[in-house]
């Protein structure tokens, strides 16, 4: 089922009960023209045939867990491996594939989504009760608030996975978009895209987006980290206090003048430049292919259950997992 949010400016967001998917998100360009700036498919039925996580809610654990295994409080757990030998985005049937119960507020600018993940789902311990609120403000901000509680200790790392193209969802490559990341460090990856456990500076590497830089400027670099991912698919360690809502990223599309800012309480952000996007028929007959969209997934670090030096993702009974992310839209002239 599809639910629609509208603000007083004319911004429209469509959300599906399947996967909590953000199917459509319109934003104005510098001339006030609205376009849909997220990649997606035409109908809920189309998503059932599989897709690269277009716009979906991700859980229980966003990103990868090496070998689909972790140990917690003396017990070993085996998860579904759906990315080679690794567990990715919650496994074979993550939160992107389940049906969420949705409540629409009377004002038409907020949704509340609920899902209860059963004990043992995809191998995770404990029953996890999840609530996600989508709120569209009259300041052209989409706010995503997540909460979760559990009956047993379990890893939790929720995120949202929209693919953005600020020129319009069917408007070719995102390589001209200028990206700024407020992160002086990142977590290097191996050839399997799983973190090595190190935390390195971005300075002097093609992963340095401390100043606004075109996504495509260094994407063909021979740098080993770029070769490993076929572009960008890396977790950046944000320059902020964990739990503080702060600016993590800014992206500008110079032709339309659209600007996207991402704010989050999370300690990390996964920048994915759409390297692995298959050629696929998208909304309204558009054709998507590699680099047709980019993702900025706010998160705790990948493989955290196996990396004690990373911020913990373990939630215990009595704890309340909380996370907030804001996608803020404006234009060069209005900024």
Stretch 148-172: mean pLDDT: 97
pLDDT in tens, 40-97: 999 999 999 899 999 999 999 999 999 999 999 999 999 999 999 999 999 999 999 9
| Fold entry, domain 2-331 | Beta-galactosidase; Chain A, domain 5 (2.70.98)
Q: Is the pLDDT of residue 106 over 80?
A: no
Quick one: which of 295, 279, 276, 325 has its CA closest to 215? 295
Rounded to an integer, what distance in angstroms lies between the CA atom of residue 11 and that of residue 5?
8
Domain residue ranges of the chain, discontinuous segments joined by +: 2-331
Q: Give the residue numbers annotated as catalytic, written as ranges.
A: 161, 297
Which pLDDT band holds residue 105 (cuts at 50, 70, 90)? confident
pLDDT, one tens digit per residue, over 174-195 is 999 999 999 999 999 999 999 9
C-alpha separations of 270 from 128, 207, 273, 327 in Å: 24, 12, 10, 15
What's the confidence (pLDDT) of residue 335? 55
Q: Which two tokens stand for residue 228?
A: 């490993």
Whether residue 5 is predicted with pLDDT greater than 70 in this model: the reply is yes
Q: Residue 63 and residue 235: Cα distance in Å, rounded?
A: 9
Structure tokens, 160: 């949202």
Q: How far is CA 42 from CA 14, 16, 34, 49, 294, in A?
A: 11, 11, 18, 12, 19
Radius of gyration of the chain (CA): 19
Judge whether residue 234 has pLDDT over 70. yes
In this predicted structure, the answer to whether residue 114 has a pLDDT above a threshold of 60 is yes
Whether residue 133 has pLDDT greater than 90: yes
Mean pLDDT value across residues 26-51: 95
Q: What's the whole-model pTM score?
A: 0.97
Instruction: Find, among 231, 176, 241, the residue nearest to 207 by Cα.
Output: 231
Statement: residue 107 has pLDDT above 90: no
């Amino acid at each position: 089922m599809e639910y629609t949010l509208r603000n007083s400016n004319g911004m429209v967001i469509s959300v599906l009960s399947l996967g909590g998917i953000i199917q459509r998100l319109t934003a104005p360009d510098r001339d006030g023209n609205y376009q849909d700036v997220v990649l997606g498919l035409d109908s809920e039925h189309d998503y059932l045939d599989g897709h690269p996580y277009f716009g979906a809610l991700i859980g229980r654990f966003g990103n990868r867990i090496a070998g689909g295994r972790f140990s917690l409080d003396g017990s070993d757990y085996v998860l579904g491996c759906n990315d080679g030998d690794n567990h990715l985005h919650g496994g074979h049937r993550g939160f992107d594939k389940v049906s969420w119960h949705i409540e629409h507020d009377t004002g038409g600018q907020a949704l509340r989504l609920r899902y209860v993940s059963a004990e043992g789902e995809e191998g995770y311990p404990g029953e996890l009760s999840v609530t996600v609120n989508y709120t569209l403000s009259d300041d052209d901000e989409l706010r995503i608030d997540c909460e979760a509680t559990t009956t047993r200790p379990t890893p939790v790392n929720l995120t949202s996975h929209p693919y953005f193209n600020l020129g319009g969802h069917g408007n070719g490559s995102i390589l001209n978009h200028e990206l700024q990341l407020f992160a002086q460090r990142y977590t290097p990856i191996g050839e399997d895209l799983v973190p090595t456990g190190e935390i390195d500076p971005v300075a002097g590497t093609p992963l340095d987006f401390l100043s606004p830089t075109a996504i495509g400027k260094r994407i063909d670099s021979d740098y080993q980290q770029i070769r490993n991912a076929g572009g960008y698919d890396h977790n950046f360690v944000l320059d902020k206090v964990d739990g503080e809502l702060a600016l993590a990223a800014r992206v500008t599309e110079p032709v339309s003048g659209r600007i996207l800012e991402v704010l989050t309480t999370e300690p990390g952000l996964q920048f994915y430049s759409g390297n692995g996007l298959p050629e696929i028929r998208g909304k309204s007959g558009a054709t998507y292919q590699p680099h047709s969209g980019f993702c900025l997934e706010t998160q705790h670090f990948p493989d955290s259950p196996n990396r004690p030096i990373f911020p913990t993702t373990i939630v215990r009974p009595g704890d309340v997992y909380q996370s907030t992310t804001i996608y803020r839209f404006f234009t060069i002239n209005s900024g």
